[in-house]
Structure 1
């Protein structure tokens, strides 16, 4: 009876025991296979990323995106320090060459009885933003910060001056990336006067601006040349990428990475277009390359276009409100200059906040307090 009663249960007992003892071996084998698969995938992905043309295109696009941000140094982990230095120098050289291309100014400035400022919403799977149309280019002026030792937000400039609208302007010195923005880079002109000339009157810089007749001027010029040309308002930035109705950026790979963008352009009838594209916000808008903006503007008949300061500086203000979504988690940056639109631009005087200050020794990483000398 004992044999009969034990026999049916013996296989069951052994089965449980063998399963219990065999389970770790099977799991170890599965984990080993999983890790091996992951390792192969990682090595294969790294090989594709670093060794194939398609992977390299993406890698360089990522590097260019970092180059346009405050984290430029991180690009060395994608392309190496020597390649990073070479690429930055290559962009600088290319932008200078683009700035020297002669502009025939194929613009027939028309009378603009309608002075309305219009907004067009831009929305694609990749990026979102706005185009602001200013039909009368003479309504546009460069405004500057009103705070000694600090930049000023575009919203504050618009409210302070009574402007209709405004976008961020030119480059500035910001060594610690804290957004102080008091010290411009290059030059600043407003009302036909040179308010700031970091390298003197005879040094060529890339500028974006507008002359007394409302004609957009972009390219590489000396401040003395700009005065002789009758340029009224200008800031420093680059590159000029549409000249005489033709795009200078050949493809996506040369589009200087994906980022928030601010761009100024002009159509044949003189209408000025300010393109403001949001970026660095996954799920909403990652940003655009300059090649993206070039296609956007050529489709709208732009004959001239140039890049303005973008990234976390990108902002569009209209009717005393911020229209777009700036990328900085800290809000709008404090800037030295902005392009503002006025109902009565002839009444606007920017003054000169930098007059009497020795800017050569000014440290813009120390905000707010700076005495005149």
Structure 2
């Protein structure tokens, strides 16, 4: 057999093996006996814009059964009086590097004293396309910023797309920024909100609820809240998959915590679960905390530049909103 034929046979075998793996892997993962692998895979993919990799093979009932919604505690009602905002004696923003012992994630946590105001920024191209977190930060001369809530495009209500429109609603300076009109003032959304006095509000609240709490800034993302009244709300470490994450929390003295965790670098450095995020927030003293948009959106801006490793194929991702520290 000539050398060329041998090479051709080897290449055909390699192509066959790759095709076989690609075709059979979904059935092996989704229908196989390895429940932990199944849960991690489904949860991770369902947290992205590419849910069709799961929904093409599993029904919604099967997805719900795998993820098991009971793994997440029913979110408590937040007691606004639990956290007393007082002046932090350290007036400087502190930046800490964080990582897991297993190498699943790395990232940064900003500790922001209570003297600073947290504000909401939104894309200046609202209704057309999103904007990078760093661009919004520079537009507002921000000391620091992280990406914000959910977003949609202007053609669909599905989260994702061009980031032209925020998901849920947006409040800034006490004014309803989005929706422009016909807002359902009583529809509850999972919120990240700050009152005029600087208290973080998390959990499910309507626009009217937030008005009654004297909220000045708010964005929305999918539930659940991570920490409420000092207690973690996530009990299963793998029910939410592994992804890059963004979160915000607040300690008892009013210090605000911005957290961004990187992932999707390789099979080992895949990212963090929501329980990982919750546990880090508790470690740094958060009494209330919640997650923001993660995945390729996860971005932290500090000292005039993006400091985390954004994983979007075209660089820093466009988003509809961000949270920033007012100078």
Q: If the length of structure 2 is used for normalisation, what is the TM-score? A: 0.81
Partner in structure 2 of residue 245 of structure 1: 230
- The within-5 A match list for 1:134-173 is 134-136=112-114, 138-148=116-126, 149-173=128-152
Residue 65 of structure 1 is matched in structure 2 by: 44
Matches within 5 A, 1:347-358: none
Counterpart of 2:85 in structure 1 is 109
Larger radius of gyration between Structure 1 and Structure 2? 1
Contact 2:263 2:272 in 1 (8 A): yes
Match of 2:166 in 1: 184
Paired residue for 1:364? Answer: none
Give TM-score, length-normalised by structure 1: 0.72
Q: 8 Å contact 1:103–1:244 — kept in the other structure?
A: yes
Which residue, out of 177, 181, 189, partners 1:195? 177
Q: Secondary structure at the match of 1:281?
A: coil
Contact 1:70/1:177, CA 8 A, preserved across alignment: yes
SS of the counterpart of 2:276? Answer: helix
Q: Deviations over 1:297-323 (max 9, x none)?
A: 212221111110111110001122110
* Residue aligning to 1:132: 110
- Alpha-carbon offset, residue 330 of structure 1: 1.0
Counterpart position of 1:233:
217
1:205 aligns with 2:189: yes
In 2, the alpha carbon distance for the partners of 1:169 and 1:162 equals 17
1:329-364 deviation digits (Å, cap 9, x = unpaired): 111122221001012xxxxxxxxxxxxxxxxxxxxx
Tell me by how many angstroms 1:177 deviates: 8.1
Relative distance call for 1:284 and 1:319 in structure 2 (3 A) is farther
Unaligned runs of 5+ in 2: 1-23
Asked if 1:121 corresponds to 2:90, the answer is no
Distance 1:206 1:123 in 2: 27
* Contact 1:186–1:199, Cα closer than 8 Å, also in 2: no
The alpha-carbon deviation at position 82 of structure 1 amounts to 3.8
Q: Secondary structure at the match of 1:60?
A: helix
How far residue 85 of structure 1 moved from its aligned partner, in angstroms, is 5.0
Which runs of structure 1 show a deviation greater than 4 angstroms over 4 or more consecutive aligned residues?
46-52, 87-91, 93-97, 175-179
1:146 shift after superposition: 1.2
1: CA distance between counterparts of 2:164 and 2:30?
Answer: 41
Distance 1:234 1:340 in 2: 12
Question: Aligned pair in 2 of structure 1 residues 337, 178: CA closer, same or farther (>3 Å)?
Answer: closer
Q: SS where residue 317 of structure 1 aligns?
A: strand
Separation in structure 2 between the aligned mates of residue 103 and residue 178 of structure 1, nearest angstrom = 29
Deviations 1:198-246 (A, max 9, x none): 7421211111111111110011111012111101101001321211111
RMSD (Å), alpha carbons: 2.8
Residue in structure 2 matched with residue 263 of structure 1 by the alignment: 247
Task: From the superposition, tell whether residues 310 and 184 of structure 1 become closer, same or farther in structure 2 (CA, over 3 Å).
Answer: same
**Partner of 2:315: helix, strand, or coil?**
coil
Q: Displacement of 1:107 after TM fit?
A: 1.3
SS of equivalent residue, structure 1 residue 253: coil
Where 2:45 maps in the other structure, the secondary structure is: helix
The structural deviation recorded for 1:285 is 3.0
Q: Which runs of 5+ in 1 are unaligned?
A: 1-42, 344-373
Three-state SS of the structure 1 residue aligned to 2:170 is strand
- Measured in 2, the distance between the counterparts of 1:115 and 1:205 equals 33
Deviation of 1:83 after TM superposition, in Å, equals: 3.8
